[in-house]
Amino acid sequence: MPEGPEIRRAADRVHRQLAGRRLDDAWFAFPDLAGQAPTLIGRRVAAVDSWGKALLTRFDDGRVLYSHNQLYGVWKLHAAGREPATGRSLRVRLVAQGRAASLYSASDVSLWEADRLGDHPFLSRLGPDLLTHGVSVEQAVQRLLEPHFRRRGVGGLLLDQSLFAGIGNYLRAEILFFAGLHFKVRPADLEKGTLMRLAACILAVTRQAYDQAGVTNRADWAAADRARGARRRHWRFAVFEREGLPCHGCGTAIERVMVASRRLYFCPHCQPAG
């Protein structure tokens, strides 16, 4: 499933396609939304952003179209009147000044007033989005030390969307590797400098994944792997999906374990247990 950086990049693409333009047409496959489609005609798309794995299309009248891609949803951008080549089921189409954005295969779509987004059953459970809500290192440290989070192992904690929205399986592994932390350590047990390093890695690795389309590895390590003919799935990451391969930093074989029912990759030398 795409993680926060991928959803934010998708939001950016839809934003570039529609933002600042007034809708000429809106279509929804869902009966409860179909009746509201005419009320969007003439409305200007103010912005498109993301919160975790949800995409939010904001209109100038204060309404927000919430959509969650889940496993199979995808937005396709195209010229109005020119159907994308796909066998997927169309769920949403927005058309503005000759441009169209079409959502396929997603089933979780709803229209909200912006001031009621906090009541949304999914969004209400999310922590701040690392790419949308301007989280600082200091704020990240404070959040890690909140009573609900501070005594939980970071390997499971980082997947909790109520901590920070958008961190998934590959980001978790990469963050812990670059922070040099074992997955069993707890925020409550870390000294301030180590907490600051973890918080900085949470922000930096997520930002790099966004900036570089999912690449979280160091540039020199990735270049060396590419020169050796490695596949993208191996050179794009420092540890994720590299079980049995040598750590870029120390040469120790990367290991895989199950943490919070998800596979986690780590270097036992760079991320010692004790």
Angle between helices 4-18 and 192-211 (to 10 degrees): 40
Q: How far apart are CA 47 and CA 146, in angstroms?
A: 32
- The residues near 125 (Cβ < 8 Å, ≥ 6 apart) are 161, 162
Which residue in the list 241, 243, 262, 268 is annotated as catalytic? 262
* C-alpha separations of 130 from 3, 51, 109, 173 in Å: 12, 9, 23, 17
Could you identify the residue written with the tokens 């925020």? 187
Which residue in the list 8, 53, 76, 242 is annotated as catalytic? 53
Q: How far apart are CA 156 and CA 152, in angstroms?
A: 7
| Residue 53 is among the residues annotated as catalytic for this protein | yes
| Residue 2 is among the residues annotated as catalytic for this protein | yes
Is 73:106 a contact under the CB 8 Å cutoff? yes
Which residue in the list 2, 5, 128, 187 is annotated as catalytic? 2
| Residue 31 is among the residues annotated as catalytic for this protein | no
Is 126:165 a contact under the CB 8 Å cutoff? yes
128 forms beta bridges with none
Element (H, E) at 113: strand 108-113
- Residues assigned a catalytic role: 2-3, 53, 262
